[in-house]
């Protein structure tokens, strides 16, 4: 079940990123990668940090989770302009 929910969540993120890219006129691979990087680093990672802080989890977990988010959003941003 976690894998199914993760897949659905990634589709939702990619769909919203596609919408934002279309409205912003982002159509190049490098522009998409940089934008995905920024979305992961400045939108999603801080949210994870807040969630982990309130849960009393170690900051190292925030760095690990944030790293995965940044890499994932960068890859999504890199792939979306290809289609």
Half-sphere exposure in the Cβ direction for 57 (13 Å, CA): 14
Q: Is the pLDDT of residue 83 over 90?
A: no
Q: Is the pLDDT of residue 25 over 90?
A: yes
Asked if the structure places residue 50 within a domain, the reply is yes
Q: Is the pLDDT of residue 41 over 90?
A: yes
* Number of domains forming the structure of the chain: 1
Average pLDDT over residues 1-27: 95
Asked if the structure places residue 17 within a domain, the reply is no
- pTM given for the model: 0.88
pLDDT band at 48 (very low <50, low <70, confident <90, very high): very high
Which string of DSSP letters, residue by residue, matches 21-64?
Answer: HHHHT--SHHHHHHHHHHHIIIIIHHHHHHHHHHTT--HHHHHH
* Residue 69 belongs to domain spanning: 27-83
Average pLDDT over residues 21-36: 95
Asked if the structure places residue 46 within a domain, the reply is yes
């Amino acid at each position: 079940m976690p894998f199914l929910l993760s897949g659905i969540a990634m589709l939702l993120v990619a769909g919203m990123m596609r919408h934002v890219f279309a409205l912003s006129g982002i159509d190049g691979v490098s522009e998409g990668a940089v934008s995905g990087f920024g979305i992961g680093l400045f939108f999603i990672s801080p949210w994870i940090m807040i969630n982990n802080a309130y849960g009393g989890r170690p900051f190292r977990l925030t760095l690990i989770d944030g790293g995965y988010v940044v890499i994932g959003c960068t890859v999504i941003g890199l792939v979306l302009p290809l289609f």
